[in-house]
A and B are shown apart, each in its own frame.
Chain A
């Protein structure tokens, strides 16, 4: 489980921190582990991910998957990001994840997709 890529992303997380004046700012928890991830996103034309950063606390799987996710979604259209699945994250991690750790692995994706959902609801209302 503690493959080199996981430990690499855990020890030197990519896109760690906070984006200034974000369009999306969303935080989620995994009560089972006590993991937390907060994502801040700046959009280009309200459609494309221009900049994304995360801060969080928790186990290596949750933090490494957040780091990996921020790398692949940069410059992607949010419609595409909404279509990302559990399998996409598991492919990124490339290690076997059991049912107990699945919540850790998917926390970052859930945080991003729920953040987008809230952003869309909010902008529609406007």
Chain B
């Protein structure tokens, strides 16, 4: 598929911002949506809308079937089984489901949880919470100066007491791609369970949970061309985890004088009416990604990352964080320029129609490790072009000029 054809599928890319063509480089925050996904949601509401797993009427049956078909597509997308796929609100809720439904129940005082300093708050705060409530120890693996995970440090921190290892597959700031297969082997050696935060990986590269060897894998629809409000949690062995949100749809039996009997997975985890249209929209998203091909997406992003890194490194006063080898990173480039506050940089770029993210990107521990308060982040996706990387470079030159740097 040609990039022009792909761009044509995204109506929003035609709009202007501040009189300039939109250059959307905030994909690590959320991605744009193709018309195929928007149409699937519209079509659902116009022709099928009903609650699922409830009514014995035509619409309800059609909705249920479409909903469960989406689950099958998502399962296949990461080489899992449908009963291992739980729909949540987002990656944050997916990880919290494990913290509450597994961590609080199974992790005890004296046990250890192992994570890294490059985690997003959503893969950090839940473990601090488990630590607080159970008295377990939280260990944090460090990074090298070029933003790679220090594997020897992680290996040293992992012990037989480690109940859970929680690591991001791709850093949302450094772009670093972590060797999850290797980490999984370390976890297995110690009989620890392994959770992968795939929020920045699943949208951008092929994911195979079996090959990765993880017990839990979490990601979000909205970062991969799908609707907001849909997260995914893969659980290898759902019997190990208790439901976190209980209510409608999660039970087989409820008694007044004894404990309820939970439904089978995945339904025991999906309390209340889910975002039916969102899940169906996400099914259409997976179709769209498969049509392009995840290998192709990764290749496109590697090329654009290499191109952008080369150009950005030539800008005066720029500091780029993370590994410089494009093969080791996703299409996320965080930087600071000339001591100028990232909000000022982002505001000037916005005046040129360029959308980037300034701030700490929900990674305060990493900001402290890098000894910065904040940074700017440009993140690319399948519809971004090399020309847009050039527009970013011109925008940053303008920043230098305005601030007389």
Contacts and interface: CB of A to CB of B under 8 A. Distances in A.
Max count, chain B CB within 10 A of own CB: residue among A2, A11, A35, A61 = A2
Contacts of B344: 2, 59-61
A7 B374 contact: no
A59 B343 CA distance: 6
A1 interface: yes
A101 B359 contact: no
Contact of B359 (A7, A33, A104): A33
Contacts of A59: 341-344
A122 interface: no
B404 A33 contact: no
How many B residues are at the interface, by size bracket? Answer: 10 to 19
B402 A34 contact: no
Nearest to B347: A1
Interface string B339-363: 0011110011001000000111000
A107 B403 CA distance: 22
Given A7-B402, A11-B404, A33 B347 contact: no
Contacts of A57: 373
Contacts of B360: 34
Interface string B129-172: 00000000000000000000000000000000000000000000
A24 B402 CA distance: 35
Nearest to B345: A59
Given A32-B359, A34-B373, A58 B341 contact: yes
A2 B402 contact: yes
Contacts of B359: 32-34
Contacts of B348: 1-2
A33 B374 CA distance: 8
A43 B347 CA distance: 37
Interface in A1-49: 1-2, 7, 11, 32-35
A124 to B, nearest CB: 36
Interface string A81-116: 000000000000000000001001000000000000
A34 to B, nearest CB: 4
A101 B359 CA distance: 13
B338 to A, nearest CB: 12
A35 B348 CA distance: 18
A101 B347 CA distance: 10
Nearest to B373: A34
A62 to B, nearest CB: 8
A66 to B, nearest CB: 13
Interface string A52-67: 0000011111000000
A11 B360 CA distance: 24
A56 to B, nearest CB: 11
Interface in B313-358: 341-344, 347-348, 351, 358
Contacts of A104: 343
B69 to A, nearest CB: 40
Contacts of A32: 359
B209 to A, nearest CB: 36
Interface of B: 341-344, 347-348, 351, 358-360, 373-374, 402-404
16 contacts: A1-B347, A1-B348, A2-B344, A2-B347, A2-B402, A7-B402, A32-B359, A33-B359, A34-B359, A34-B374, A35-B341, A59-B342, A60-B341, A61-B344, A101-B343, A101-B347
Across chains A and B, which 4 residue pairs bring their CB atoms closest together, nearest first? Answer: A59-B341, A59-B343, A34-B373, A60-B344
Given A59-B342, A60-B344, 12 more contacts: A1-B347, A2-B344, A2-B347, A2-B348, A11-B404, A33-B341, A33-B358, A34-B360, A34-B374, A57-B373, A60-B341, A104-B343
